[in-house]
Structure 1
Amino acid sequence: MTAREATARARRVGAGPDRPAASGDPFLLGVRHHGPGSARAVLAALDHARPSAVLVEGPPEADALLPLAADERMRPPVALLVHAVDDPGRAAFWPMAAFSPEWVAIRWALEHRVPVRFMDLPAAHGLAVPEQPEVRPEDAPAVDPIGVLAATAGYDDAERWWEDAVEHRTADGAPADPRAPFAALAEAMGALREVHGDGGRPRDAVREAAMRLRLRAARKEFGDGVAVVCGAWHVPALGARTTIAADKALLKGIPKVRTETTWVPWTHRRLARHSGYGAGIESPGWYGHLFDARDRPLERWMTKVAGLLREEDHFVSSADVIEAVRLAGTLAAMRGRPVAGLAEATDAVRAVMGEGSDVPLALVQDRLVVGETLGKVPDSAPAVPLQRDLTRQQRTLRLRPVAERRDLELDLRKETDAARSRLLHRLRLLGIGWGEPMAGRGSTGTFRESWRLHWRPELFVRVAEAGVWGTTVLTAASARAESEAVAATTLAEVTALAERCLPAGLPADALSVVMSALADRAALDADVGHLADALPALARSLRYGDVRGTDTAALAAVAVGLAERICVGLPPACTGIDPDGAQEQRRRVDGVHSAIALLAGAGAGAGAGAGAGADPSYGGAPAPAPTDAPADGPADAPADGLRGRWAGVLRKLAARDTVAGVVRGRATRLLLDDGHLSEDEAARLMGLALSRGAPPADAAAWIEGFVGGAAGSGMLLVHDERLLRLVDDWLTGIPPASFTAVLPLLRRTFSTYDPGVRRTLGELVRRGPQPGGAHRTADAPAAGFGPGFDERRADAVVPVLRLLLGLGTEQRTITTGGPPENERTVNR
C-alpha cells in the first residue's frame, strides 16, 4: 500500500463500518495525543467493546497515581511529573487535557471499575540517559506521520487535515462499529512505517518493546479483551509478531535511576508547545471547545467570541454573531471542508466582528484559541515536603498561583503583605522564579514593593530541585544562602547575596554566615573598584531594616568600613585612566554618592569619620582624621561624619587636574547639588575647565560629567545663564580641527535632555546672553521665566502640596517690609 492509498484509507475514518479486530486480539486504539475527535472515538469504542482492562501510553511508575484521576478535586489540564530522586532537574512531563484520549480512557476505566495501567518504557530508564535529561514519550519524530498524510492528501496544514479527517467527521456521527476508524488509521500508519521505517527515531524500538511486554503481561492477567490507547504511530509495532526474548534483549543493559512521580497542574498554553507527548497543538482552547460542545459547536464558539469582545469594550451585536456563523459556513463550503473549522471561524470573526482588523483576533487567539486554563490537583497527590509547605503558605497568604501574568503591589507596613514579600524573596533565593520585582508605580518609599507573578508548570520541577535544601521554604532558603555565602569567591557575589537575603527575612544564624562571609571578602579585597561596586547594594539593603524590622547592625558596620576605604582609595584610582575607565569611575562615583546618602540617612554613618572609623573585624579600616580637607576648598567644608568625609573626597576629585575630566565635572556637580559648593565656585571651576588652555576633549568630558547623565541635569543650564554662557563661549571658540572630535561627546550629553529642556536652551542661546547673567531683566525675560523669585506665586502651591501629603493646612503671616498693608496671611 502506498502512502497515498494509506491517506485515502485514513480519510474514510468515521465514514462507515470496517473490519473490526479479530476476537481475542487486543483492541489497539491509535490516537493523536490531545485530539478531541480521538477522545470522543475512544470513549465510543470503550463503551462498545467493554474491555477487561485498559492500557494507556505513559510511565509505568505512575500506576499507583491513576486512582487520583477520579478525584472530584482533580481538574485537567494536568500532567504526570517524573523526576530523578538524586537530580530533580532531570524530569519529564506527560500532560493530559480533558480532551486527551488518554485522560478519557483513564476516567472511563475508573468509572467502570476496570483495571487501568500505564504501558511504556519506564521513565527511570529514560531519565538515566545523560545526553537526554528530559526524554519524553513520543518526542516529535523526524517524520511527522500526520504531516505526511496531510501533505499526501493535498493539504498544506496538518491541523486542518486532521480536523477534516477526524475531528469534524467523528463529531457528525459515530460509525456502526466504533472500532472501525481505528482500524483505518492503523492501516494508514502501517503503510507509512513500511515507507519510513522508524521515522528517524530508532529509540522508539526500545519503547515499543517495553509496550509489547506490558501488553503481554496484561493479557496474561486479564485475558484477551484488553484495550490499548496509544499514539497511532505505535499501533503497527504493537501488532507485530515478536518473541518475548527478542523484546527483552532490546531492554537489556539500559541504565536506570530512582524516580519519584506525582500529578501537577498544567496549562492550555503549555499544551500548545511540542513538549511532553510531542503532539503540541496550536489551538488547545479550540479543541477543548470541540470536545465540550456536542452540538452546534460553531454557533457556541461565535457566542464565546462575542462575549469576550464585549468584555473588552468591542461592540458586537447578535446580528454580528448570526452573520459570522453564516459566513464561516459559506467559507467551509467554498473550500470543500465538511464543516467550518477554526480557519473559517477566524476569517469570519475578522470580517464581521473585527471589521477587517486583526487587533480583536489577537485577543481571541490568546484568550480562547489558546487560553490560560490552569488545572488543579488534589492535596492527596504525592509531593515533596517543600511543595506542601509552599502550598500551605500560598493558601494562608491568599496568594493563589495562576497561569496569567499579574501585577502585585505590596505595602510592607501590613503584616500580610510583608509575609508575601518574604515568601517571594525566599523563593527567589531558591531559584523558583514565581515572582519578579518591578519598579513601583505609585511610590518610591521602601515600604512598597511591586511584583509580577507568573506561575508556570515547570516551577514544580524547580520546587522539587530546591527540596534538597530543606523541607520548608524558610529552612531551604536559609540553607541555600549559607551554602552560597561559603562558596562565594568574590566580594560582588556575596554582596549580591546579602542584598537578596535581607528582604527574605532569614533567621539570625543564616544571616550571620552571610555577614561573616561579606566581612571576610571585604577585608581581603583591596581593589577600590570592587569596593565601590559593592557599596550601593549594601546601602540599599540597609533600607530594609526600618520597614521590615531586620537587624542590619552587622551589615551597617561592613558598609561603613567599605565607605571609609573608598574615601581613601578612590581619588588615586581616578587619575591616569583612559576614557572608558573614566566613564566607569564616574559611574562608581555616582553609586557611592547615592550609597553614602542612604547610609547617612539610615544613621549608619553616625560617628563615622572624625576618627571614628569602622570596626576592622568587618573589613573596615580605621578612618583617618578629617583634617586632611583640601586646602583649595572652602574652610567650612563639612567634615563631620561619613557625609562630610565624602564631601572632602569630592573636593579632591573636583580640584585635581590629574583626575579624568568626566570625573572632575561630576564631582563638581554633586558638590553643587548638595550645597557644599557655591554657585560662584562652580562657575569658577567650569571656567578653569573650559579655558582656552584646556584640551577640547578633556573640556567636553568635564561638561559631560557636570551636566550629563542625571535626570534634570539640563535644567541647571536653563536657570543659571552664567554657566550656559561659559559653555556657549567655550563651544564657539573650539578650533575647527578639534570640533569634530568633541562633537560626539557633546551630542551624547545633550541628547539625554527632555525635548522641552533642549528647546528652552535653544531659545536662550538664540537670544544671546543678557546683562547680569542669571539675574534676567524684566524687559528681556527668558521664555517661561520671570525676572526673579516670586514668593507670592510660590506660596500658592503650598496648600495643594500639603493636601497631597496629608499634612492639613496652617496659616502664616508673611511680612514683606513696608506698610502693614503689605503683610499677608497664607494657608500652608
Structure 2
Amino acid sequence: MGAKVMDPVFVGVRHHSPACARLVAATIEEQRPAYVLIEGPADFNERIDELLLGHELPVALFSYSDQHASWSPFCDYSPEWVAITEGRRHHAEVRFIDLPAWHEAFHDVSNRYADAELRYAEVVERLCVEFAVDNVDVLWDHLFESDEAPEALDQYFDLLRGTATADDGDAAREEYMASWVRAAVADAGDRPVVVVTGGFHTPALKAKLDGGTEWPEVPERERGASYLVPYSHARLDAFTGYQSGMPSPGYYQQVWETGSGRAADWLVESVATRLRRRQQPVSTADLIAARTQAGALARLRGHENLTRTDVLDGLTSALISEDLTQPPPWTRRGTLQPGAHPALIEMLGALRGDKVGQLHPDTPAPPLVNGVQELLRTHGLDGEGKVALDLTNAEALERSRILHRLRVLRIPGFERTSGPSESAAPQLDEQWVLRPCEERLAALIEAAENGATLEEAAGVALERRSRQAQLEQLAAILFDAVLCGITALSGRVKESLSEGVRVTGDLVALGHVLGGVLGLWRHDRLFGTAKDSLLGEVIDAGTARVLWLIEGLHGGPAPADAGRLRTMAATRDAVLHAKAALSLDTVDVAGVATRVSNDAEAPPDLRGAALGLAWTLGAQPDVRKVRGIEALGDWLAGLFAVAREEVLASPELVGVLDEIVSSMTGEEFLVALPALRLAFSYFPPRERETIAATVLAHRDLDGDARSLTRVSVDPMIVAEAMAVEARVDALLVKGGLA
C-alpha cells in the first residue's frame, strides 16, 4: 500500500492583513509542510529566488504583455510574502499557483492583490448593518484585526463566497490553482501541503480536490516580461486610489511590527507631530483625551485590542470641535475630497506612512533601465540642477530628445520649465530642471513594457495614447512625437489629424489642432518640418473647415468663448504664416470673415473676431459702425483676440471706443465692466499704456499714461463703491435730502 495522502491545509486570507499574515506564519510553523502554494503568477516560479535577495519592502512583481500590465505588491505583512519567507525558512517547496498576470483571466485586473468587494457587496452590507459598522474595512478590523489569533475566518469567507458567483476569469484561475493543489498533494504523500490564497477563492478550491494530479503547464506569452519594482506605502493606500485589501499601510506596518496597542500610541503621536508641523495647536491634554476616548470606544465595541477606527474616532472627537464638511474618509472607500479638515488630512498622512521600497542591487532589470542610465551618463543628464539647451546645436537637440522621451514616459525627475510649445511662436532654447528621485527606477522598469530602448518605448507609449485620443489630443501627441524625434509615429498621427479636421464640427478642438500643427510648421528650423506635405494638408483642411463652420454659427449674446477666439486667432496665423499650404486665396478668407462680421445673428465675440481677421488680411473696417454694436465687451474681446496690433495702430478706433464708454450711464458701465475687462486683458501692460496714451491724445489732455493703468485698487472694488454711492444718492433724492 502507498503512503497515505494528506488533505491540503487551506489558509484563506485577506490581502495585506497583519492578522492573516500571522495566521499563515503560525500554520507553516505548525504543519512543517512539503509544499507552500501561494496565489501568485506561476510563470515566476523559476525566479522566486529573486524575491529573497534581500529587498527593502514594499516591492511589487510587475508583469506586462502586448495588451496588459499588472502589479502583485508585497509588504512586510502581506500573507503571500510571509508564506514565501516562512515556507523557505522551513525548507518547503514554495510555488506560485495562479495564472500569469498577462493571461486573459486578468484582462480587467491591474493589481492581483486588490480585493474586489463588489463581488459580494450584498452580504458585506448585511454584515455591516448587523455589526453597526460603516464599511468592509471597519468590519474586518472589528472581526479579525483586533484579535491576535483570529477565529472564524473560514466561516467568513464561506459566507462571502456563498453569495457570489465567480466570473469567467475567476473560474479559470480557480481551476488552474486547483490543478496545482492536486499535483502537490499527490507528490507530497504523507507530508502536509499549505495553500495560501485570497479567501474568496478558498471555498472553490476546497471543492476541486478530485481530478488529475499532473503538474500543470505554465502558459507562455509571445511578448512581455516580469520584473520586480520598488513600491511604496503611498501606492498601496486605498485612500490614494489603490483598492487594496487593507488601507492605511503605514498604520498596519506598525501593527505588524509592534502590535495593536503600540500602533495606537504611534498613530496618536504621528498625527500630533504632523499637525504641529503645520502650526495647528495640539495640547498634551488633547492627546490624553484622544487616547482615553479610543480606549473607551474599543471597550464599548467589544475589541480585545484597539483597532484603527477606535483610534481615529478618538482623535476626531478630541481634535475637531467644528462640523465636518465631509464624512471621515475611513467611513467609506475613496480618496479625500478638497476642503477637508487639516486634522483629517494629517490623520490620513500618518496612516499612509512614507515607506518606499528598495531593490537589492543584484535584482535583474529590463534593458531599458541600463540603456537609459547609460544615455544619461553619456549626455551629462544624470546629475541635479538646471540644464539650458540651445536647440540649434545638434548635440543639445539630441539631449532635448532624450529628456522629452523620458517626459513622455512619465519618468520623474525631469521637468521642463520653458521651451517650444504648441500654438506658439518659434522658440530656439529649452530650460530643464533635473533632480534624482527614488521613484525613477520603478517608473523605468514599468516603462519597459513599451520597448527595450528609450526611443522605442517613447514611440510605443505615444502610439498607444493616439489610439483612443480625441482630435485635440492628437495635436499634442504629434507635437510630442516631433519633440522626441519619432518620425514613424508622426506620419500616422498626421494622417489621422488630416482626416479628423475634414469632418469635425467642434470649432474649439479644430482651433487647438490648427494651432498645434501650425506651431510645428513654424518650428521647421528645429524639427525639419518645413513644407511637410501632411502638415500642409492639415493646415489647409483645418482653415477651410473653420471658415465653413463660422459662417453657419448663429446665436444670441453670450459671454465671449475663449476657445472659439483661440480658433479664430489660429486661423489668422495659418493665413499669415502658412500661406503656401493653403488652397484658399487671402481675398476669399477675408470675404468670409467680412460676411460673418456683418451677420447680425452671429455671436458678438465671433463677429468681432471675424472683423479682426478681415482687418489683419488688409480689409479696412468702418469704425463708425462700432457705435451700433450690442454686447460691446464680448465683441471687443473677439476683435482684440485676433487684431490686437491693428487696434493699437488705430487712434480712430480707440477714440470711438473712448466716446462710447464715456457716454455710458453709471449703471450701463457697471453692466458692461466684466466683459470690457475680459476684452482688454488681451493686451499686456505695455500695450495698455499705449491705449491710455491714445485716449489722452484723443481728449487733448496731458498726463502720465502709465499712472492710468497702474491703479492700486481693484477696479471691481471701485465699481462696487460707485454702485453704492449711486444708491445712496438715489435714497437722498427720494427723501428730499439731496
Same fold (TM over 0.5): yes
CA distance in 2, matches of 1:721, 1:727: 10
Q: In the alignment, which residue of structure 2 is the partner of 1:332?
A: 298
Match for 1:466: what amino acid? N
- Aligned residues, how many? 648
Name 2:657's counterpart in structure 1.
723
Give yes or no for contact 2:365–2:445 (8 Å, CA) kept in 1. Answer: no
Determine the C-alpha separation between the residues in 2 that align with 1:519 and 1:236. 51
The alignment status of 1:201 with 2:177, answered yes or no, reads: no
Q: What's the secondary structure of 2:120's corresponding residue? A: coil
CA deviation after TM superposition for structure 1 residue 95, in Å: 2.6
- Tell me whether 1:142 sits opposite 2:111 in the alignment: no
Q: Which residue of 2 aligns with 1:819?
A: none
CA distance in 1, matches of 2:493, 2:166: 54
Deviates further, 278-287 or 661-670 = 661-670
How far residue 521 of structure 1 moved from its aligned partner, in angstroms, is 6.0
Separation (CA, whole Å) in 1 of partners of 2:242 and 2:611? 64
Distance 2:367 2:311 in 1: 47
Say which of 40, 43, 47 aligns to 1:65.
Answer: 47
2:57 paired residue number: 76
Cα pair 1:440 1:448 within 8 Å, conserved = yes
Kept after mapping to 2: 8 A contact 1:81/1:263: yes
CA contact (8 A) 2:275 2:343 kept: no
The residue that corresponds to 2:94 in the other structure is: 116
392 and 749 in structure 1: CA distance in 2 versus 1, 3 angstrom threshold: farther
Displacement after TM superposition at 1:687 (Å): 1.0
Task: Give 1:687's match in structure 2, choosing from 621, 624, 628.
Answer: 624
Say whether residues 1:185 and 2:153 are aligned partners.
yes
Structure 2 residue 227 is the aligned partner of structure 1 residue 262? yes
Kept in 2, the 8 Å contact 1:28–1:229? The answer is: yes
CA shift, 1:200, in A, is 2.0
Structure 2 partner of 1:54: 36
Deviations 1:473-527 (A, max 9, x none): 2144458889999x99999898655422332244xx759x7499689969x9899
Which protein shows a greater Rg? 1
Whether the 8 Å CA contact 1:532–1:592 is kept in 2: the answer is yes
Secondary structure in 1 matching 2:272: helix
- CA distance in structure 1 between the aligned counterparts of 2:171 and 2:596, rounded to whole angstroms: 77
- Hey, what does 1:16 align to over in structure 2? none
SS of corresponding position for 2:29: helix
In the alignment, structure 1 residue 466 sits paired with structure 2 residue 466 = no
Distance 1:578 1:240 in 2: 67
2:193 aligns to what? 226
Structure 1, unaligned stretches of length 5 or more?
Answer: 1-21, 175-180, 401-407, 600-604, 606-612, 625-645, 733-742, 759-771, 779-786, 797-828
Q: Describe the shift of the 1:656–1:321 C-alpha distance in structure 2 as closer, same or farther (beyond 3 A).
A: closer
TM-score (norm 1): 0.60
Change (3 A) 1:727 1:365: same
The corresponding residue for 1:309 is 275
Equivalent position of 1:666 in the other structure: 609
Judge which range, 458-467 or 41-50, deviates more.
458-467
Q: Is the 8 A contact 2:105 2:173 kept in 1?
A: no
State whether structure 2 residue 19 is matched by structure 1 residue 42: no
Corresponding residue of 1:288? 253
**1:163 equivalent in alignment to 2:141:** yes
Q: C-alpha offsets along residues 42-95 of structure 1, whole Å, 9 cap, x if unaligned?
A: 2234334433332222222221232122222x23333333444xxx22344333
Equivalent residue for 2:516, pick from 519, 537, 546: 537
Q: Following the alignment from structure 2 to structure 1, what is the Cα–Cα distance between the partners of residues 15 and 28?
A: 17
Q: Residue 788 of structure 1 aligns with which residue?
A: 702
Corresponding position of 1:90: 68
User: In 1, are the aligned partners of 2:16 and 2:78 still within 8 Å (CA)?
Assistant: yes
Match of 2:147, SS? helix
| Residues 211 and 573 of structure 1: CA distance in aligned 2, closer, same or farther (over 3 Å) | closer
Q: Secondary structure at the match of 1:28?
A: strand
Structure 1 residue 429, shift from structure 2 partner: 5.8
Give the whole-Å Cα distance in 1 for the aligned partners of 2:518 and 2:30.
72
CA displacement 1:396-440 (0-9 Å, x = unmatched): 84599xxxxxxx99754599998786346335767x697999997
Match of 2:333 in 1: none
Amino acid at match of 1:264: V
Kindly tell me: are residues 413 and 215 of structure 1, through their superposed partners in 2, closer, same or farther at Cα, counting changes over 3 Å?
Answer: same
Letter in 2 for 1:89: Q
Task: Rate the CA distance shift 1:517–1:754 in 2: closer, same or farther, 3 A.
Answer: closer
- Which residue is equivalent to 2:639? 706
Q: Distance in 2 between matches of 1:451 and 1:345?
A: 41
Is contact 1:719-1:774 (8 Å) kept?
A: no
The superposition leaves residues 273-317 of structure 1 with CA deviations (integer Å, 9 ceiling, x where unpaired) of: 599997532333322221122462221222222222233333435
Query: Which SS does the other structure have where 1:227 is aligned?
Result: strand
Q: Provide structure 2 residue ranges, at least 5 long, that are not aligned to the other structure.
A: 325-339, 682-693, 711-738
User: Which secondary structure does the structure 2 equivalent of 1:61 belong to?
Assistant: helix
2:447 aligned partner, one-letter code? V
State yes or no: 1:447 paired with 2:414: no
1:299 is matched with which residue? Answer: 265
> Does the Cα contact within 8 Å between 1:410 and 1:421 map onto a contact in 2?
no
The alpha carbon displacement at 1:127 in A equals 2.2
User: Cα offset for 1:114?
Assistant: 3.5
Contact 1:272–1:280 (Cα < 8 Å) also in 2: no
Q: Which residue in 1 is equivalent to 2:405?
A: 426
**1 CA distance for matches of 2:360 and 2:464?**
34
Q: 1:333 to 1:392 in 2, by over 3 A?
A: farther
Query: Quick one: structure 1 residues 747 and 537, their matched pair in 2 at CA, closer, same or farther if it must change by over 3 Å?
Result: farther
Tell me if the contact between 2:59 and 2:75 (Cα under 8 Å) persists in the aligned partners.
Answer: yes
Change in 2 beyond 3 A, CA 1:748/1:50: farther
Confirm whether residue 502 of structure 1 aligns to residue 482 of structure 2.
yes
- Residue identity (%): 24
Amino acid at match of 1:472: T
Do the aligned partners of 2:59 and 2:73 also contact (CA within 8 Å) in 1? yes
TM-score (norm 2): 0.66
- The aligned counterpart of 2:724 is none
2:112 and 2:550 map into 1 onto residues whose CA distance is: 60
SS at match of 1:338: coil
Query: For residues 261 and 667 of structure 1, what CA distance do their matches in structure 2 show?
Result: 57
User: Could you give the per-residue CA deviations for residues 570-596 of structure 1, whole angstroms, max 9, x where no partner exists?
Assistant: 998699644369989865431244567
Q: For the structure 1 residues 559 and 454, does the alpha-carbon distance in structure 2 shift closer, same or farther, using more than 3 Å as the test?
A: farther
Aligned-pair CA distance for 1:169: 1.9
SS of 2:228 mapped into structure 1: strand
Root-mean-square deviation (Å): 6.2
CA-CA distance at 1:38 after TM superposition? 1.6
Return the alpha-carbon distance in structure 2 between the equivalents of residues 494 and 143 of structure 1. Answer: 41
Secondary structure of the residue that 1:316 maps to in structure 2?
A: coil
Task: Sort the Cα spacing of 1:518 and 1:497 in 2 relative to 1 into closer, same or farther, 3 A.
Answer: farther
Please say if residues 264 and 457 of structure 1, whose CA atoms lie closer than 8 Å, have aligned partners that are also in contact.
Answer: yes
Distance 2:540 2:163 in 1: 70
